[in-house]
Chain A
């Protein structure tokens, strides 16, 4: 804006600060109280801790099984996202470059499926895969994420692949590359910007997902971070300090990810939404 006056600027800045404080206040409260003992929290939840004790953290760490939950979440998210990227990019390449009639039908099916909410298929999903004994395994969960992630990711890649000139393909094929090499060495590298966006959207979704893993993962040792936080809270509702420390633990990884990848995350979310 060209005509913003000095006083207007000051007003905007003040508003910004007040709103930001309001926004992060709940998270700040959790952090502050995670260092206090139970009595302190109940007596004065708003005050800073008299002494900063890490006792809650050590207790939360062991009881919530943080290491195992973190490793499960990392394994599931990383493997599932890599599979989604590989298979949806190649699928989009296939759907764009081969003009078979079937390919249009597939694309329409992918688009139509995006309005189906998980709740609408959750009951048959559980009975089907329960009968096939595919529940209770991290690897099945990864496969399910691939299935649920294919439609949106393929759709986003589809728009991007269409923009890649066909001359690229022709040049590579004339140079003697096979179709697999053409895709892996020419096309996929060109798709890098959209790959980042798709990767980020899928990471945030899979990392934070609760309902699907809660239906699929039965054994405690398979639990992801949201799951272990949930079960931990069921037992620890009255022991606030430890519960707060557990919440901080479950937020740390994604906050680190955010600090490192902030620009790409914000850009990715915008691009993903506007598509």
Chain B
């Protein structure tokens, strides 16, 4: 499942921890490289994990459909719900709508309990067939 991850995601240290309801669950351990204010995750690093989970969910669904388009972000809106504590975080994307040219995704990130997300995101992604 390594091809679900971009170079940026691998540089961050994101790994695929498993699947949930068909969607990849991503995991990212905490390190100083991901810290914002001391003792907390950087908002940008959390956004990076959320975006990566969104892309991974979409890549996974597209692969199942035999499609391999270029993915171009249209927008992302991130809600920060609570401070990311200095421990591993997880994220999972859900496809709200998959069309021919456009996909809408909802993503959640959590630490201890998937029912208590620390951040969520809504993403719109443009898909361009590369043939």
State whether these chains interact: no
